[in-house]
Structure 1
Amino acid sequence: MAAPNFTANDFANAIHGLMPRGLVWPKDAAAVQAQLIAGLAPTWERHTQSNNNLLADAFPETAYELLPEWESTLGLPDPCAGVAPTIQQRRNQVVARLTNSGGQSIQYFVDFAAQLGYAITVEQFSQARAGILKAGDPCCGHDWNFAWKVIGPPSTVVRAVAGGMAAGDPLTAFGNAVLECEIRALMPAHTIVLFAYGKTGDLDETFILDQSALL
């Protein structure tokens, strides 16, 4: 059953119907009483809409008015999301953290990134060993056993969706900062995570220096 959606006119008619009858209770639209009721009715309409929104705010995936409360229980928003993240980006972070059950497998990180709105793959490295290394394979040292790479799209795009955005949200938002921050917060402490973006999987230039710690 859908939530009731009463308009200002519905409230005005209801109040008029509850008023006493008589000459001192005029129902003419030009009367002071009718004008007062007409002035108050939009407020009751807004209250009804806000109450109906509570049904959606009960679930973080559709929350709007109570989204800040959901965020505050999870230590959000964080600097990773930037100065003005969109409503959908904020919801994604809330849902991802609430549903995060922990793990260290490749599938765990792929699923966690998907909750954030990112489609990724994960590549692992291993030390070069005689009898296993093939022509063209990188000659990785021992430390590369603890490195892994997250491969994602060049820049994740969040597009405005009717009913899912709010006033002030951009029609399109770009960036992978949230992905990188969230993955770094969850990665096993003894590992080093690298990030690559683009169809070719080339390592992001901002992380090339990180490889020096692995040589």
Structure 2
Amino acid sequence: MPDRHVTRSGDDYAEALSQLLPQGQAWPRDEGSTLMRVVRGLSQIWGVVEASASKLLEVESDPRITLDLLPDWERNWGLPDPYYQEPLTIGDRQKALVQRMTIEGAQSREFFIGVAAQIGYTITITEYRPFMVGLDRCGDNRVYGDGTNLMYSDTFVRGWLPVYDPQGNPVALDEISEWPNYGLGPDTNRHYWTVHVGTSRLTWFRCGGGGGQTGVDPHLRIGLATDLECLLNRWKPAHTQIIFDYSGLTNGGSMAGTP
């Protein structure tokens, strides 16, 4: 449950201030009297101040839902990232802020897949190594699926390893698998890895906190995963290079809500 704070209205302050006035016929407490109208009018500003203070404590102190102080949060955490090439909705900016505050960093496949999932992307990763005599064989060393889930094969290297299709899924019957290595080439091939992006970036307009801005955001914005590319390039090992693969792209993704 979100924090709730006692918030007094302008009328509450008017009631309290009226109790501090002198007693007597010259200081009437009747609701319709001129004196009480003046007191009530002058007290409204204090209700506004207290409501603003409560909003700061209940809403703006939470980076997940902050609106008015979002630019201040971003400035303190080095956001928005200058690498982004397209505008982000308020919801996207809130997600980026929370991720920047909570990310710890790692170099495993699971870490990068999880980072992508936090901002709404489903990805798979292919890593490479150069051809190794005694382990690999010449020719097409991909295999065809036999219908089992999960299929194992000794075609890749000595020993039984799981076989996947180019999108990182189990190989279906008669479907061809991914290449198990990068083929002939220099040993620097091992410093490359491919991120297969399975869905396009669909940003739907949404009203309310974290949604779109009327007159600014369109109903739907479609784009490549530039925010994902920025994020992964920032956190990848410095000696590696990412290849982004959009060949299996579908339109099933959604970033700012699903219609």
TM-score range, shorter chain: 0.7 to 0.9
User: Cα offset for 1:92?
Assistant: 1.0
Structure number, greater radius of gyration: 2
Give CA-to-partner distance per residue, 1:23-44, whole Å, 9 cap, x none. Answer: 3323345544333333333322
The residue type paired with residue 24 of structure 2 is G
- Distance in 1, matches of 2:42 and 2:75, equals 34
- Residue 153 of structure 1 pairs with residue 199 of structure 2: yes
Identify the structure with the greater helix proportion. Answer: 1
User: Cα offset for 1:101?
Assistant: 0.8
Which stretch shifts more, 35-44 or 101-110? 35-44
Identity of aligned residues (%): 26
The residue type paired with residue 109 of structure 1 is F
- In the other structure, the counterpart of 1:134 is 142
- Distance in 2, matches of 1:94 and 1:49, equals 25
- Residue 87 of structure 1 pairs with residue 90 of structure 2: yes
Superposition RMSD in Å: 3.3
CA contact (8 A) 1:86 1:173 kept: no
Give CA-to-partner distance per residue, 1:131-160, whole Å, 9 cap, x none. Answer: 682266557553553122141421143552
CA contact (8 A) 2:205 2:212 kept: no
- Cα 1:196–1:19 shift into 2, 3 Å: farther
**Which of 5, 8, 13 is matched with 2:15 structurally?**
13
- In the other structure, the counterpart of 1:211 is none
Q: How many residues align?
A: 200
CA contact (8 A) 2:200 2:249 kept: no
- Residue 70 of structure 1 pairs with residue 73 of structure 2: yes
- Distance in 2, matches of 1:7 and 1:87, equals 30
Give CA-to-partner distance per residue, 1:42-92, whole Å, 9 cap, x none. Answer: 322222222112323333223333333322222112334567533222221
- Distance in 2, matches of 1:158 and 1:192, equals 31
- In the other structure, the counterpart of 2:101 is 98
Structure 2's unaligned 5+ residue stretches are 144-175, 251-259
The residue type paired with residue 17 of structure 1 is Q
User: Cα offset for 1:172?
Assistant: 5.2
The residue type paired with residue 71 of structure 1 is E
Give CA-to-partner distance per residue, 1:5-37, whole Å, 9 cap, x none. Answer: 333333323322332222332334554433333
- In the other structure, the counterpart of 1:178 is 227
Relative contact order higher in (CA < 8 Å, ≥ 6 apart): 2
Which stretch shifts more, 62-71 or 80-89? 80-89
The TM-score normalised by the length of structure 2 is 0.62
- Distance in 2, matches of 1:27 and 1:165, equals 46
Structure 1's unaligned 5+ residue stretches are 203-215
- In the other structure, the counterpart of 1:4 is 6
User: Cα offset for 1:108?
Assistant: 0.8
